[in-house]
Structure 1
Amino acid sequence: MPKYAYKALNKEGHEVFGIVQAESQALAINDVRTLGLYPTSVREARKSDERRARREKRGLSELYIGGVKNKEIVVMTRQLSTLIDAGLPLLRSLNVLIAQLKPCKLRDILREISADIQSGSTFSEALAKHPKQFDRLFVNMVRAGEVGGMLEVVLSRLAVFMERREALKRRVKGALIYPIAVIVIATGIVGFLLVKVVPVFADIFHEFGGELPAPTQFLIAAGDFMVYNWW
């Protein structure tokens, strides 16, 4: 039996993609409508459509390079807190965020979380399935917010905490740049002196004769080591 790939809108107005088997295109359109969807495009399926349909079924409509940035998590957390505080249910708030996001990994993750919640999981349980994006602190705080009935407050505080943590990381990195740069430059200068300058003075001292002080002998030995072993 022929297979037909379709694009359709669900009840929330989101576009979905899938494949149905039918004897004709008209019957395929009818089958899509029986799924509670509004078909916008129906055509004969190709092999690439079948692969895409499998990814859609797993909640991975696209493949994206890289992960989710912390800044994206912060913005999502703050927006979700605002929507819930405005009186929207959690699931509806997630669907609003999904609709606003451009195709990205975070959108696919939110789709999976939304599907898990519809299947009966709690928000914290759905988040725990994505440990790379939501650490144990995030999940446990959300769980506490669910139990205490103050999820929007917890999400708002989490957003503030993550913003401050990212700001602290930036300050620490900025503070480390100067001493690291000084160490690198100083090491380069010392290496240049040992390789280029010290050997010249060593030849001069040897011509004068006599026993050199221990610090001078150490510098000459270090210069020889750099020249004959590392340079």
Structure 2
Amino acid sequence: MPLFQYKGRNQRGEAVRGHLDAASPDAVATQLLNNGVIPIDIVIAQARADIFGALQARWVANTKITLTDLSLFSRQMYTLLKAGVPIMQALRGLRESTQNPAFAKVIASLGESLDTGLELNNALRRHPKVFSSLYVNLVQVGETTGSLQDVFLQLALYLEREKDTHDQIKSATRYPTFVVTAIFIAIFILNLFVIPTFAKVYAGFKIELPLATRILIASSNFTVTYWPVLLFTLIVVIFSVRYYVNTPEGRYRWHKSKLGIPVVGRIIYQATLGRFSRALAVMMKSGVPLVQGMTVVSRAVDNDYISDRIVQMRDGVERGETIARTAAATGMFPPLVIQMIAVGEETGSVDELMLNVADYYEREVDYDIRNLSTAIQPILIVFLSIMVFILALGVFLPMWDLVKVARQS
């Protein structure tokens, strides 16, 4: 958006001047009037070509808007609307109080869109990278039914739980990722620096080296000779995998295989189903039709494999089947959860039962994460034991042969 320079007078008649980012001079005038300033002159300011300004603008553009920003925004909107504060005034207050400069620009853009006569949900749609389809659809329902403040409360609770789930998944994958990375770095260092030293010592021995030692030395020689090629290959593989994962087919295969990772995959799977159950419950509780809710939620679970199964459920519901039957057909849910969904359909309280399903999965995730280290440690110990055993055989067997030769002589 262009930068405008303005001059005006405040309510006490004092001259004021400053700069504002806005879509047009009319938008600047509207903002000034809303702030109690009578505009006198509004012109486009000169381009900010100084290095500091350019760096600051780039920093703002690259600042990430997090779930914490969104959940805090939703809760503050609920509080302000419940207190009777007009939505335009609420947005102005939140724009000035937010600590994230990128999100402050988004909030300012929302206010400008509302100034032009757009509804809030349409203003949110202009920022698809910030507000998900689930968020926009719930706000649209809130505007239609006159329960916007209640929708913001539901969104705040949902986003807060969503952040907890993301943090739990990161916590579940951080420890094994760190350990496996450290192991491979250790192998690389051993091959590059440690084993060559032993190889020089063994080169002076007049004995045939054991097979394990010859394998270690050959591996070390290959690493020392071709480490630039290995490093380049590793970089190419990483970028190729990232490119493939960003394609629809690659993303689907990665999301499916991610659920099959030992120990950690189960946590990711249950956390994703918990997210689906809670999102669908929030949609239904806000008055969104079931089929539309499933369509929106299928895009919000952040896993293409499970999203495809949710679409299958939606298609089954459209054909007139029950939710419990379509859920059983996908194979995603255990019998206990399917029974809970069936009870919810019979009693007409599917939204409440889906919240119970979400609580069930979230308790399972909490339990699995607390026991994650206990489950992973045996696997890592076995892996490390095999590595140490191979290394010990390769290093110490020649010494053992030397001792035997010395004794015979």
Normalised by the size of structure 1, how large is the TM-score? 0.65
Match of 1:6 in 2: 7
Report if the CA contact (8 A) 2:63-2:100 is conserved.
no
For residues 127 and 133 of structure 1, do their structure 2 counterparts lie closer, same or farther at Cα, with a shift above 3 Å needed?
same
For residues 50 and 178 of structure 1, do their structure 2 counterparts lie closer, same or farther at Cα, with a shift above 3 Å needed?
same
**1:168 and 2:165 matched:** yes
Match of 2:116 in 1: 119
For residues 52 and 161 of structure 1, do their structure 2 counterparts lie closer, same or farther at Cα, with a shift above 3 Å needed?
farther
Match of 2:65 in 1: 69
Partner of 1:6: helix, strand, or coil? strand
For residues 201 and 136 of structure 1, do their structure 2 counterparts lie closer, same or farther at Cα, with a shift above 3 Å needed?
same
Q: Which runs of 5+ in 1 are unaligned?
A: 19-31, 54-61
For residues 135 and 208 of structure 1, do their structure 2 counterparts lie closer, same or farther at Cα, with a shift above 3 Å needed?
same
The 1-side partners of 2:168 and 2:100 are apart by 32
For residues 193 and 154 of structure 1, do their structure 2 counterparts lie closer, same or farther at Cα, with a shift above 3 Å needed?
same
Match of 2:202 in 1: 204
Report if the CA contact (8 A) 2:191-2:219 is conserved.
yes
Instruction: Give the C-alpha shift of residue 6 in structure 1.
Output: 0.5
- Say which is worse superposed, 159-168 or 125-134, in terms of deviation: 159-168
- Say which is worse superposed, 204-213 or 80-89, in terms of deviation: 204-213
The 2-side partners of 1:96 and 1:193 are apart by 58
Match of 1:151 in 2: 148
The 2-side partners of 1:127 and 1:146 are apart by 13
Q: How does 1:83-98 map to 2 (within 5 A)?
A: 83-98=80-95
1:96-153: per-residue Cα shift (whole Å, max 9, x none)? 4345457934334323322322332111001111222212221112112222322111
For residues 185 and 104 of structure 1, do their structure 2 counterparts lie closer, same or farther at Cα, with a shift above 3 Å needed?
closer
The 1-side partners of 2:162 and 2:9 are apart by 42
Instruction: Give the C-alpha shift of residue 202 in structure 1.
Output: 7.4
Instruction: Give the C-alpha shift of residue 154 in structure 1.
Output: 1.3
**1:221 and 2:218 matched:** yes
Report if the CA contact (8 A) 2:77-2:90 is conserved.
yes
Report if the CA contact (8 A) 2:72-2:156 is conserved.
yes
Match of 1:27 in 2: none
Match of 1:51 in 2: 45
The 1-side partners of 2:225 and 2:6 are apart by 70
The 2-side partners of 1:91 and 1:217 are apart by 75
Match of 1:230 in 2: 227
Q: Which runs of 5+ in 2 are unaligned?
A: 20-28, 48-55, 229-409
For residues 97 and 206 of structure 1, do their structure 2 counterparts lie closer, same or farther at Cα, with a shift above 3 Å needed?
same
Report if the CA contact (8 A) 1:202-1:220 is conserved.
no
The 1-side partners of 2:86 and 2:149 are apart by 11
1:134-190: per-residue Cα shift (whole Å, max 9, x none)? 122211121122223221111111112222222222233333332233223322332
Report if the CA contact (8 A) 1:194-1:222 is conserved.
yes
Number of residue equivalences: 195
- Say which is worse superposed, 99-108 or 185-194, in terms of deviation: 99-108
For residues 74 and 217 of structure 1, do their structure 2 counterparts lie closer, same or farther at Cα, with a shift above 3 Å needed?
same
Q: CA RMSD for the aligned pairs?
A: 3.8
Question: Which residue type is aligned with residue 7 of structure 2?
Answer: Y
1:109 to 106, 110, 124: 106
The 1-side partners of 2:157 and 2:191 are apart by 51
Report if the CA contact (8 A) 1:77-1:155 is conserved.
yes
Partner of 1:121: helix, strand, or coil? coil
Partner of 2:205: helix, strand, or coil? helix
Match of 2:128 in 1: 131
Question: Which residue type is aligned with residue 67 of structure 1?
Answer: T
Q: Structure 1 segments of 4 or more deviating over 6 A?
A: none
Question: Which residue type is aligned with residue 97 of structure 1?
Answer: L
Report if the CA contact (8 A) 1:9-1:16 is conserved.
no
Partner of 1:106: helix, strand, or coil? helix
The structure carrying a bigger helix percent of its residues is 2
For residues 8 and 222 of structure 1, do their structure 2 counterparts lie closer, same or farther at Cα, with a shift above 3 Å needed?
farther
Partner of 1:207: helix, strand, or coil? coil
Larger radius of gyration: 1
The 1-side partners of 2:194 and 2:37 are apart by 81
